[in-house]
Amino acid sequence: MPQLAQRMGRAKPSAIMVVAETAQRLKAEGRDVISFSIGVPNFLPGEHVYEAARRSLESDSGQYGSNRGANAVLDAFIGHLGRLGLDGYTRNNCATGVGAKHILYNLAEALLDEGDGFAFATPYWTSYMDIAEIVGADIQLLPCPPEQDYKLTPEQLDAALAKKPRVFLFNNPSNPTGMVYTKDEIAALADVVARHPDTWIITDDIYNMMVFDGVGYHNFVHFRPELRERVIFVDSLSKTYGMPGWRVGLMAGPEVVAKAVTTLNSNHITSLPEVVSAAAAAALSGPQDVPAQRCAEFQAKRDQVVAALNAIPGVVCPVPQGAFYAFPDVSVAFGKSHGGKVIGNDVDLCNALLEAKGVACVPARPSASRAACASATPARRRSWRRAWRGSRSSSPSCPDPHPHEHEPHAVRSHPT
């Protein structure tokens, strides 16, 4: 049989999708699974979005669309950028894609040759690593431990950029940690970025409308407008507007980069579908009360989830100030055993949780796990707590051969 391309040796399925699919499979098999794996909002877009989609169907042209994106979407996105205080962008600075993941993939293709330096902070959203590996980048991880609130310091960034990576990818608010950089922190990092002209900066800021506690959303460009020559802002409708399945991602940056993404689009997706574009334009330009309301709800859920996690002896969960993830340190469970298996790391813990208790979370090495809290409800909180108390009534499809091990070795994670 002929062989696959070498790059496929470096390509892995997205870890988060793997957990989500396992959770779905178990559900289909009749298990009572609580999935905190994939980061999906628990709401649908406003009625005006559906109305726009219906109208678009009624006048469907049936044609291919623009490789860059429909003008209505680009204009609505420019309006959204303006609301974020990011002014001065034109259609030529923007491009669309099939989700932010596709935009990020396109950017990696457009900006990185094999072996080029690609720097980003860890903990990171798992797809950064997967994409970097597929394009063969030289990955330069910048460790951001809990002692520095999972955030990059200016000194650290300065040292990293001194090595002249081709691309520095910055994510704020962060998936998986939920940390949000303050205005002063962004200003200080922007000064560092400005001193290193050889590096493209991607700011993956798709959670820009999900910021809590009045911290506010800030971008390097707010403090250093000249950085617009090198900063590529990435956005998505998935989380903000409750539209993950519509698959709309966006970017705004230098014209040359937007053009490169458009060229790549022309060679694989051609365009977003007409009906999707109509819905996207309506979401971005219509009433913004849905995202605002949801942000308030997520903040309340964040409070409940974090309080419940921190109530578990040995588990430490910092307070996320954005997005909808909780990122507890669950290393207290390591070395303990469950069902006869020693829990050596986050992956073992997540596997044990899913198999034994039907609770799906995402491992995030080395010592933390991520739980998406968008779907947290009182009922789910109760059921998860019951799971972690080591209920004696084992799940029928996964009987626990060592029920006595639950209590003394209580492996704990994130009840919601």
> Where does this chain bind ligand PLP (CB under 6 A)?
39, 99-101, 125, 171, 175, 204, 206, 236, 238, 244, 249
- Please identify, using beta-carbon distances, which residue of 171 and 383 lies nearer to ligand PLP: 171
236 vs 413, beta carbon nearer ligand PLP: 236
| Complex with ligand PLP: residue 203 or 367, whichever CB lies closer | 203
Whole-angstrom distance, CA of residue 169 vs CA of residue 201: 6
Q: Token pair for residue 131? A: 């994409």
Nearer to ligand PLP, 171 or 321 (CB): 171
Residue 86 or 251: the one with the smaller Cβ distance to ligand PLP is: 251
Kindly report the three-state secondary structure assignment for every residue of the chain: CCCCCHHHHCCCCCHHHHHHHHHHHHHHCCCCCEECCCCCCCCCCCHHHHHHHHHHHHCCCCCCCCCCCCHHHHHHHHHHHHHCCCCCCCHHHEEEECHHHHHHHHHHHHHCCCCCEEEEEECCCHHHHHHHHHCCCEEEEEECCHHHCCCCCHHHHHHHHHCCCCEEEEECCCCCCCCCCCHHHHHHHHHHHHCCCCCEEEEECCCCCCECCCCCCCCHHHHCHHHHHCEEEEEECCCCCCCHHHCCEEEECCHHHHHHHHHHHHHCCCCCCHHHHHHHHHHHHCCCHHHHHHHHHHHHHHHHHHHHHHCCCCCECCCCCECCEECCECHHHCCCEECCEECCCHHHHHHHHHHHHCEECEEECCCEEEEECCCCCHHHHHHHHHHHCCCCCCCCCCCCCCHHHCCCCCCCCCCC
**Closer Cβ to ligand PLP, 99 or 286, answer by number:** 99
Q: Which is nearer to ligand PLP, 237 or 333 (CB)?
A: 237
Nearest position to ligand PLP, beta carbon? 99
Is the CB of 110 or the CB of 206 nearer to ligand PLP?
A: 206
